[in-house]
């Protein structure tokens, strides 16, 4: 028979052979595993952007600042652009469906002077973001930061 050292060598060689057979079977055989990666739909990116813009209404409220509003809207835009880099157009009936409550507006912001909006060229007039939103029902309101008047709000009341 074999000596103890020879048995150990043969045991190790047989384990090594078994491992090599497994490696060949799972790594080099014709059996290929099919992996299907699912890309995100353009519709999902659009729905995500709309939800994000809706959440900006509080960042664009009268008690917030232009910087907070602009930062929120630009963050939504950056996330949307990042999402769209790998998005594909999905066939009808697939992808997320979302009805936005708010629409982002980029317009002139004017201060109130003696309770009247002044967009005639005062030093405080500037451009920035605001949101035109639906409230309960079909009522609309405008979230305009810094207690300003946002041109294009057409007399809609403030949201907050």
Give the global pTM.
Answer: 0.68
Of 89, 101, 111, nearest in space to 43 by CA: 89
Phi, psi of 130 (to 5 degrees): -150, 175
Structure tokens, 157: 């009341």
Number of helices (H), then strands (E), belonging to the chain: the values are: 3, 6
Q: What percent of the chain has pLDDT over 90?
A: 32
Q: What does the pLDDT read at residue 40?
A: 86
* Contact predicate 110/122, CB 8 Å: yes
Instruction: Provide mean pLDDT across the span 103-121.
Output: 84
Higher local confidence (pLDDT), 12 or 127: 127
The whole-angstrom separation of Cα 148 and Cα 110 is: 6
Instruction: With a cut of 70, say whether residue 31 has pLDDT above it.
Output: no
Model confidence pLDDT, tens digit, residues 39-85: 788 889 999 999 999 999 999 998 999 999 999 999 999 999 999 99
Q: What does the pLDDT read at residue 35?
A: 42
């Amino acid at each position: 028979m074999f000596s103890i050292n020879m048995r150990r060598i043969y045991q190790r060689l047989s384990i090594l052979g078994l491992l090599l057979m497994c490696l060949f079977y799972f790594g080099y055989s014709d059996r290929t595993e099919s992996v299907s990666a699912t890309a995100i739909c353009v519709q999902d990116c659009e729905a995500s952007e709309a939800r994000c813009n809706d959440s900006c209404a509080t960042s664009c409220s009268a008690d917030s600042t232009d910087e907070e509003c602009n930062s929120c809207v630009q963050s939504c835009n950056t996330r949307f652009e990042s999402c769209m880099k790998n998005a594909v157009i999905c066939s009808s009936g697939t992808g997320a469906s979302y009805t936005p409550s708010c629409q982002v507006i980029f317009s002139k912001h004017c201060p109130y002077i003696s309770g009247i909006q002044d967009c005639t060229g005062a030093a405080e007039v500037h451009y920035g973001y605001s949101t035109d939103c639906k409230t309960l029902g079909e009522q609309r309101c405008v979230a305009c930061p810094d207690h300003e008047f946002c041109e294009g709000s057409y007399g809609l009341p403030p949201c907050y």
